[in-house]
Chains A and B, each alone.
Chain A
Amino acid sequence: MGMRDLVDELSAKRTRIRKMGGEEAVLRQHAAGKLTVRERLDLLFDPGTFAEIGIHATHAGIAPDLAGRETPADGVVAGFGRIDGRLASVIAYDFTVMAGSMGRTAEIKCNRAREVAYTKRVPMIWLIDSAGARIQEAIGSKSFAGSGLLFREESIMSGVVPQVAAMMGPGAAGTAYIPALADFVPMVRGTSNMALGGPPLVKAVVGEDITAEELGGSKVHCEVSGCGDLEVEDDRACIRAVKDYLAYFPANNTERPPGAPCDDPADRREEALLTLVPDSPRRAYDVKKVVRAVVDHGVFFELKPAWAKNVVVGLARLAGAPVGIVANQPMVLGGALDVDAADKAARFIMLCDAFGIPLVFLQDVPGFMVGSKVERAGIIRHGAKMLYAVSEATVPKLTVVLRKAYGAGYFVMCGRGYEPDLIVAWPTAEISVMGPEGGTNIVFRREIAAAADPDAERARRVEEFRKLINPYMAAGAALIDDVIDPRETRGVLIRGLEMARTKTLLRPWKKHGVMPV
């Protein structure tokens, strides 16, 4: 055959492989409300930039029942391309080919795609729609004993390059640990699920009858387990979320997070902030209103919005520069921190610190939850995660005390002892070891009991206590940098960020700390 015939043959092969698992399988994929893997990649990458790796791959030829069959691209599309002009590597499972199962050849391709991300220091993205390991090819120690390196590599590269695992179908066993180790895990409502053991295995091993959706659907992971970061409506919204998320991140941990042009004035005053905090310190308000009022154009990319809602975390921009926001939410549990909230905030702080994204803390916290329930759940250990994460973080840290800053809540939300580059307070701030009521009951227990009218005495003491914790006490001792008009919050934060841009903190050498996980 001459070259012309050979390239015609090549072209025919490519065309056949790009049909994936065939017409019927593609129809089934669409009927399930899912896009095909190639449609997803068209949405993910800038037009014409995707370069595929390993398109000719097929199964390893070791499973008798696969003899004579072809598995196009071996059930996974790998390669690299540009997202908003920036390079990223991808591994996208193809459910139309053997349910996207991880075959032996497929794994070789995946290793290659990870190599692109890890040695070229660009983001790694997985689009997961896979039944898990292809048992026919993984069975037997000869095959299995050498496998599993993907999780080691993913762990090692954590914090070096951004890693995103989008759940766009099932992810069982092997494909559930990929999201577990990734930084960001959006999940498509209704079609995605993940579990270490799928329903048939669960039935066989522990006898429980349960659907994949009930076992590990998006609602379970985004509202209950905390393993998912964002529930999204469909495949398009999922790809959009991946791109929006990555826009806040540098390609790797040696680069600065990408700035964006910003026409939202840096000194924009927000009148609404004057009346947002209720006069009664016992009343709740929505802290997300503060976040949206302060950040560029009110755009806030919230992570884990439906889990541990007593703390709000997410990405935004200030004068075009990415920032991570950590805010107590008085609307939920009064903003008190519990086990899940500490876990959520600690992880987010580590994420931002790893990629040089400055942190903004908005404090209104009555402290950590107390009581037997949280103690038995290990609140000491979980609360310590947050202390640890905020202590370790060397990125610029800015703190605004909106109202309550009680007890260890003040510490973990980057109080003065935790190296904030700027710490300011609204006039409503109360920085105190505990609230006035609790403090009075302990300090003046005897006086209150001995008084002719104990209730009146308690009320009088509470008011006295309150005078000791108004923000001018801390500001008067130069322990906070300023008391600010809430309407000026945006300008204060932007000036603080500009000041802290060249922050340099060198920690003592260590192999690594012993994180209280």
Chain B
Amino acid sequence: MPEEIKAHITGVVFEIAATPGARVAAGDPVIVLESMKMEIPVEAPRDGAVKEILVREGQTVQEGDVVALLE
């Protein structure tokens, strides 16, 4: 069961920091949001492999939206 990674703040996707299939450690940025004029990383909650990135750069996401899936 892949784990959903959710945006914790409303903002615009500034950068996709991890590609599908990439191994990430807990705390690594998966995507970076721009909000409050700051680049705010959305981090992997645990070690794992990125299964899917569900957003694209420039897209607006709401707090709580699922932005990626972690295997």
Partners in one complex: yes
Smallest CB–CB gap between B5 and chain A, Å? 16
Binary flags per residue of B9-24, CB closer than 8 Å to A gives 1, else 0 = 1100000000000000
A283–B39 CB distance below 8 A: yes
B residues less than 8 Å from A334 (CB atoms)? 9, 35-40
B9–A333 CB distance below 8 A: yes
Question: Interface residues of B, CB < 8 Å — how many?
Answer: 12
B residues less than 8 Å from A366 (CB atoms)? 36-38
B residues less than 8 Å from A283 (CB atoms)? 39
Please tell me which one of the listed residues A330, A370, A371, A373 contacts residue B38 in the complex, with CB atoms under 8 A apart.
Answer: A330
Binary flags per residue of A320-339, CB closer than 8 Å to B gives 1, else 0 = 00000000001001111000
Question: Interface residues of A, CB < 8 Å — how many?
Answer: 19
Smallest CB–CB gap between A283 and chain B, Å? 6
B residues less than 8 Å from A370 (CB atoms)? 36
A residues less than 8 Å from B63 (CB atoms)? 373
- Bound-state Cα–Cα, A210 to B37, Å: 41
Known: A333-B8, A333-B9. A369 touches B36 (CB 8 A): yes
B residues less than 8 Å from A367 (CB atoms)? 36
A282 sits at the interface (CB 8 A): yes
- Bound-state Cα–Cα, A373 to B8, Å: 12
B36–A284 CB distance below 8 A: no
Residues facing A in B27-71 (CB within 8 A) are: 34-41, 63
A residues less than 8 Å from B35 (CB atoms)? 333-334, 336
Q: Which residues from chain A sit less than 8 Å from chain B, CB to CB?
A: 280-284, 330, 333-336, 366-367, 369-371, 373, 435, 437-438
Rank and list the top 7 A-B pairs by shortest CB-CB distance, nearest first.
A334-B38, A336-B36, A366-B36, A334-B36, A435-B37, A282-B39, A334-B40
12 CB contacts below 8 A, A to B, read A282-B34, A283-B39, A284-B38, A334-B36, A334-B37, A334-B40, A335-B38, A366-B37, A366-B38, A369-B9, A371-B10, A438-B37
